[in-house]
Amino acid sequence: MFLIVAPVSIFCAFVARGLMDDFSYGMGLSVMIAAVLFTAYDLSLLLLTSGRDPGIIPRNAHPPEPEGFDGNAEVGANQTPPLRLPRVKDVVVNGITVKTKYCDTCMLYRPPRCSHCSICNNCVERFDHHCPWVGQCIGLRNYRFFYMFVFSTTLLCLYVFGFCWVYIVKIRNAEQITIWKAMAKTPASIALIIYTFIAVWFVGGLSVFHLYLMSTNQTTYENFRYRYDQRANPYNRGVVENIKEIFFTPIPPSKNNFRGKVPQEHGLRPRATNGFMSPNMGRAVGDIEMGRKPVAWDEPRMAAEIGDLGAGLSNLLEDKDGRFRCASPDLSRDALAVGGGLEEQGSSATNPGRTSWGVEAGR
């Protein structure tokens, strides 16, 4: 926002104000008003791009149910045959087979054109890319606003760039001096010309690139990874239909209720697996796309079991007098506060063997 507001403010203060005296019939004032309105429109598109749900698919609480048996597995007479989720599934799109992958983080099969963002840590529909300039993924629900923002920023750069040159020419004609001397009289115009000239190559090039992607119905992710130019694109329906799909189709509603309350599960217990096997069951699983530290496949369930075990161990920490022993350094303050006081601390000093519950339990 600063990269947009700051140069426009300099333009209005040093260039547009000078043009107000040079243009007749109030034309100079319209230059400033147009710059302000154009900037407000550009910032609104920026907020729409960064503030909307890009198409996040809600995560599943549990893996999907497997569809078939693993015929290669050998099981006993009283055992349930293990079921294994395939890593990929084939989906037919417009007569062309497309592979959909299983996401270990979200525990779902990604729809076609969906990918898991390694920065937002979410599966996003029609994932294009993660834009660090807007701090948001670009996907199904905000792609049109992203392109409109980039294109309007390009036009704003050209607007400022053009009127800075107009102001320099006005100074040259009014004072009958060379163009170089006229440029020296308005350093703000020179700074803005250099700034907008550099910026327009980035936002202008991005506008042209995404115009090509829209005309061929591709995403940035697909263009860099799949290279549809070398094979059939199942989503390409012609230039006109592709453009209509981006700008003239209703945006689907969000699948997330960001204002809703998170449901809290009471009395979480390990549920029966019925012989179910995840694609990564039996080994530590890290998020392949996230590159995070490997964690246990069913960590919430393990946490519940540890919580139940901790509740049982808390009863063992009481001695016959109803006082807590020092089970760990973190519990020492609680042990003193509950009833041990200084007397318990003194007994621990005289009997060091009884200060650690783990040592005594080992006996």
pLDDT digits (tens, 9 = 90+) for 66-118: 765 444 545 454 555 555 678 888 888 877 778 888 998 999 999 999 999 99
**355 inside domain:** no
Q: How confident is the model at residue 29 (pLDDT cuts 50, 70, 90)?
A: confident
CB distance 108 to 123 below 8 Å: yes
Which residue range(s) make up the domain with 104? Answer: 88-123
Rounded distance between C-alpha atoms, residue 3 and residue 40, angstroms: 13
Beta-carbon count within 10 A of 130 CB? 19
Out of 131, 137, 164, 326, pick the active-site residue.
Answer: 131
CB distance 11 to 163 below 8 Å: yes
Q: Is 131 a catalytic residue?
A: yes
Last residue of a domain, one of 206, 229, 248: 248
Q: Do residues 243 and 145 both lie within one domain?
A: yes
Q: Do residues 23 and 165 both lie within one domain?
A: yes
Strand, helix or coil at 50? helix
DSSP state, 231?
Answer: S
Q: Do residues 135 and 208 both lie within one domain?
A: yes
At 308 the pLDDT is 57
The residue with tokens 């429109």 is 41
Q: Do residues 98 and 198 both lie within one domain?
A: no
pLDDT digits (tens, 9 = 90+) for 153-192: 999 999 999 999 999 999 999 888 999 999 999 999 999 9
Beta-carbon count within 10 A of 354 CB? 14
Q: How confident is the model at residue 229 (pLDDT cuts 50, 70, 90)?
A: low
Reading the block at residue 306, the tokens are 């540890």
pLDDT of residue 294 exceeding 60, the answer is no
**65 inside domain:** no
pLDDT of residue 4 exceeding 50, the answer is yes
Domains held by the chain: number:
2
At 19 the pLDDT is 86
**175 inside domain:** yes
**228 inside domain:** yes
Q: How confident is the model at residue 266 (pLDDT cuts 50, 70, 90)?
A: low
Q: Do residues 157 and 211 both lie within one domain?
A: yes
Beta-carbon count within 10 A of 260 CB? 7
The residue with tokens 């300039």 is 133
Range in 213-217, 224-228, 315-319, 338-342 with the lowest mean pLDDT: 338-342
Side chain identity at 154, as an amino acid letter?
Answer: T
- The mean per-residue pLDDT over the stretch 14-35 comes to 83
**302 inside domain:** no
Q: Do residues 145 and 240 both lie within one domain?
A: yes
Q: Do residues 141 and 229 both lie within one domain?
A: yes
Q: Do residues 10 and 135 both lie within one domain?
A: yes
Q: Do residues 163 and 238 both lie within one domain?
A: yes
The reported pTM is 0.69
**35 inside domain:** yes
Reading the block at residue 334, the tokens are 């609680």
pLDDT of residue 359 exceeding 50, the answer is no
**260 inside domain:** no
At 64 the pLDDT is 81
Q: Do residues 113 and 164 both lie within one domain?
A: no
Tell me what the pLDDT averaged over the chain comes to: 76
- 103 sits in which H/E element: strand 96-103
Q: Do residues 134 and 234 both lie within one domain?
A: yes
Q: How confident is the model at residue 275 (pLDDT cuts 50, 70, 90)?
A: very low
Reading the block at residue 264, the tokens are 């809290």
pLDDT digits (tens, 9 = 90+) for 114-151: 999 999 999 999 999 999 999 999 999 999 999 999 99
**343 inside domain:** no
Q: Do residues 208 and 105 both lie within one domain?
A: no
